[in-house]
Amino acid sequence: MIPLGSGALVWHDAKGIPMRLPTVGRPIHAALVGVLGAAMALAGCASDSAGSDASTTASAAADGAFPATIDTAYGEVTVDEKPERIVVFTDSYLDLLDILGERPTAWADGYGGEAAFLEWNPWLAGTYDEPGDPNLLTAEYAPSAEAVAALDPDLILTDVWNVDEPLYQQLSQIAPTYVGIDTDTQTSWQDNLNALALLTGHDPSIVADTEAKLDDTFAAAADRLPGLRDKTFQVPVFNGTPPQLYLSEYGNEAIARLGLVPGNGQPTDGDGGLEVAPISLENIEQLDADVVFVAAAGSLGDDVIDESFAALRADPRLADLPAERNGALLYLTSAQWLAVNGGTPASYTWWLDQVVPQLEQSALNRSGA
């Protein structure tokens, strides 16, 4: 694990394919720099679709019922009464707590300050403009049990990606600790929101209500893109040394909800990871989808990302790519990639506001409208 200049950490699977693990201490910007192993690589991140009925169980069946018990990745977690002091180590929970009308007592800052946090999480501007606390993290960017204990919390929110079971046991001695539902994929925002609703005394029907609003948002965006319906897409991501392009599936669901379908080589349903071969700049003709979203691993650094994007833009063969001819080759900023790479309702909504106008004005959309 290698800290970025901002003090944040990023992760990728064993082939270098970017995946978003929304962690305050280790935000997954555009890609990863550690190796999670073959099982994680093949599994991929969870989609934003709702989890199975069996993935989250609770004794709290009604709004505000306590004690509430959740079956999590590290076993059952019980909250005896409504928590008043919540400490957060995973940035996606900040959005979900806001949906519930809850405010954390403290949250860990692994970004290097308020400006950097909002640079990576612009969808939280106006919601979380105050700085987090870097002292809640150790030098290894894991939760500091000592610092957490000093806050006397009654609920700790983190995940399996920055808390192993021994540390979980330590934190659980301080307060009930929620680490997500799944152990080998990223827990969906729906399962997390359901769990947080139960643990904080809210009616879990808020999950369906939130999902319905997000569905409407995506549907309205898709209605603006009639010319893209059933057109193909690819998501190549620069990573590695020297940088090469890897097709990543970690934005598939959101993109598909705009009416697009995976193009040649675009991984689906966990087919990424070890099976994905890189695409060198010498082979950019393989980027033959109607719409192409180009992103880059945050671990490369801004200079390398700029150079990689510039090299692609300068390639004379770029003009022959269908997406370039269509005006539908988009270069995603780090925040835009993070937002759609296993995001939350706020990040998806922000991402749509960012990319839909360009797609709407593309020749592909205008010609098919």
Residues 223 and 361 in one domain: yes
pLDDT of residue 271: 52
User: Which residue shows structure tokens 């330590």?
Assistant: 170
Residue 338 belongs to a domain: yes
**Considering only CA atoms, which of 248, 260, 253, 216 is closest in space to residue 359?**
260
User: Which residue shows structure tokens 């997500």?
Assistant: 180
- Residue 38 predicted with pLDDT over 50: no
CATH (domain of 344): 3.40.50.1980
Q: Taking the CA atoms of 37, 91, 353 and 330 in sequence, report the sign of the dihedral they define.
A: negative
CB 28 within 8 A of CB 19: yes
| Separation between Cα atoms, residue 157 and residue 178, nearest integer Å | 5
At residue 23 the predicted structure's pLDDT band, cuts being 50, 70 and 90, is very low
Domain interval for residue 289: 213-368
Residue 332 belongs to a domain: yes
What average pLDDT does the segment 206-227 reach? Answer: 98
Query: pTM of this prediction?
Result: 0.85
Per-residue pLDDT tens for 103-127?
999 999 988 888 999 998 999 999 9
Residue 46 belongs to a domain: no
At residue 195 the predicted structure's pLDDT band, cuts being 50, 70 and 90, is very high
- Residue 31 predicted with pLDDT over 50: no
Mean of per-residue pLDDT scores for the chain: 83
At residue 191 the predicted structure's pLDDT band, cuts being 50, 70 and 90, is very high
Per-residue pLDDT tens for 246-305?
999 989 999 999 999 999 999 987 654 445 789 999 999 999 999 999 999 877 888 999
Residues 357 and 274 in one domain: yes
Per-residue pLDDT tens for 319-366?
999 999 999 999 999 899 999 988 999 999 999 999 999 999 999 999
CB 106 within 8 A of CB 155: no
What average pLDDT does the segment 74-100 reach? Answer: 96
